[in-house]
Amino acid sequence: MNAPRALVTGSGGFVGRRLCALLEASGWEVVGADLRAPDGAVDRVAADLSTPEGVDAALDFAGEVTHVFHLAAATSVADSLNRPLEHLRINAGGTMLLAEALRARRPGARFVCIGSAEVYGPPQFLPMTEAHPLAPANPYAVSKAAADQYCAWLAASGALDVVRMRPFNHTGPSQPDVFVLPAFARQIAGIGAGLRPPVLRTGNLAVRRDFLHVDDVVRAYLAAALRGRSGEAYNVCSGVSRRLDEVLDRMRALSGVSFEVVPDPALHRPADIPELRGSAERLRADTGWEPAVPFDTLLTELLDHWRGRS
């Protein structure tokens, strides 16, 4: 039996690199597409997946694939507040272009569409299951909800084999510091190295978020690709919500670094959801996936990564 062959879009990104490594270690053939391809890479292609030309170039390069993992996206909620149309063009428009191209050119491939739990908006009940209404509360979430629902329509109409992933917050070493936990870790590492004063600037620390290690998340994507039900949506989450001030206290204890916490109004979002906590019971039941990386391990890896860059 031939090994499965995957096209991973956004292959050069934080999650894309981890997913490609996991697939390759699991015996898959993997090709990647991103805005930029590494010099000399024979299994990666530079392509703008938000344009028809870029989608065609990626599919031409990938050849006959059994699976497409669509991670290419604009990912910053904060940036979406300033560039809402760009997020819609990339996240909704790009997903539609790729799905339609697969429908025409690779109708037998499974399309694993990576969305976001941001599509749920303010929780109407906790933990949020996949039955929670979609009520996106920012332009990024709107763009992801549009892509999610388009994929749901494609699956319901029998046009394409699609599974939709709705990951909650996830992080790990090498995630950009525009995200909250890497931002904490970068500042703590700089303070510990004596490169900045002992002041850590933060946004709203009263919110609660459901965090996973990126390695658990990419294992969920692989599990859904292999065992998920066609047309289904799957939350990817720990089921535990953590207050950011408590997370920061734990990072202080793990690092041994003393600092003052100073709220920065520039880091506060105009519409911050108080708590996000999901249920991954559907993913567990259908695929057997379970998170495996302890939370302290996640925080320690983040701190070690940023210490290495200080």
What percentage of the chain exceeds 90 in pLDDT?
Answer: 90
The region of weakest confidence among 1-15, 183-197, 290-304 is 1-15
Report whether pLDDT(271) > 70: no
Q: Supply the pLDDT for residue 289.
A: 98
pLDDT band at residue 221 using 50, 70 and 90 as cut-offs: very high
Residue pLDDT, tens place only, 135-161: 998 999 999 999 999 999 999 999 999
Classify residue 169 as left (phi > 0), alpha (psi -120 to 50) or beta.
Answer: beta
Q: Supply the pLDDT for residue 124.
A: 97
Q: Supply the pLDDT for residue 268.
A: 74
Q: What is the mean pLDDT of residues 119-124?
A: 95
For the chain, domains (ranges, CATH) are 5-171+212-237+277-293 (3.40.50.720), 180-207+241-275+300-309 (3.90.25.10)
CA 95 to each of CA 36, 62, 133, 234, 252: distance values in angstroms, whole numbers, following the listed order: 18, 17, 21, 18, 40
Give the Cα separation of 48 and 42 in Å (integer): 18
Give the Cα separation of 259 and 35 in Å (integer): 39
pLDDT band at residue 38 using 50, 70 and 90 as cut-offs: confident
Within 10 Å of residue 97's Cβ, how many Cβ atoms? Answer: 18
Residue pLDDT, tens place only, 288-299: 999 999 999 999
Classify residue 172 as left (phi > 0), alpha (psi -120 to 50) or beta.
Answer: left
CA 181 to each of CA 21, 177, 186, 209, 289: distance values in angstroms, whole numbers, following the listed order: 23, 8, 9, 11, 24
Report whether pLDDT(269) > 70: no
Q: Which residues contact 42 (CB under 8 A, 6 or more apart)?
A: none
Residue pLDDT, tens place only, 90-102: 999 999 999 999 9
The identity of residue 265, as a single letter, is P
CA 169 to each of CA 117, 180, 187: distance values in angstroms, whole numbers, following the listed order: 8, 10, 20
Higher pLDDT, 77 or 58: 58
> What DSSP character marks residue 266?
G
Q: Which residues contact 187 (CB under 8 A, 6 or more apart)?
A: 196, 200, 201, 259
Q: What is the mean pLDDT of residues 184-196?
A: 98
Give the Cα separation of 250 and 95 in Å (integer): 38
Q: What is the mean pLDDT of the chain?
A: 96
Residue pLDDT, tens place only, 13-29: 999 999 999 999 999 99
Q: Which residues contact 39 (CB under 8 A, 6 or more apart)?
A: none
Q: What is the mean pLDDT of residues 250-265?
A: 96
pLDDT band at residue 33 using 50, 70 and 90 as cut-offs: very high
Q: Which residues pair with 165 in a beta bridge?
A: 114, 234
Strands 242-243 and 208-209, sheet pairing: antiparallel
CA 221 to each of CA 6, 106, 216: distance values in angstroms, whole numbers, following the listed order: 12, 20, 9
Q: Which residues contact 254 (CB under 8 A, 6 or more apart)?
A: 296, 299, 300, 303
Q: Supply the pLDDT for residue 39.
A: 80
Q: Supply the pLDDT for residue 273.
A: 80
Q: Show the tokens assigned to 55.
A: 């989608």
Q: Chain-centre distance of CA 121, in angstroms?
A: 16
Residue pLDDT, tens place only, 161-182: 999 999 999 999 999 998 999 9
Q: Is 253 helix (H, G, I), strand (E, B) or coil?
A: helix
Q: Which residues pair with 44 in a beta bridge?
A: 32
Give the Cα separation of 208 and 190 in Å (integer): 25
Q: Supply the pLDDT for residue 1.
A: 62
Q: Supply the pLDDT for residue 266.
A: 81
Q: What is the mean pLDDT of residues 40-62?
A: 95
Q: Supply the pLDDT for residue 77.
A: 85
The region of weakest confidence among 13-27, 172-186, 216-230, 261-275 is 261-275
Give the Cα separation of 294 and 275 in Å (integer): 21
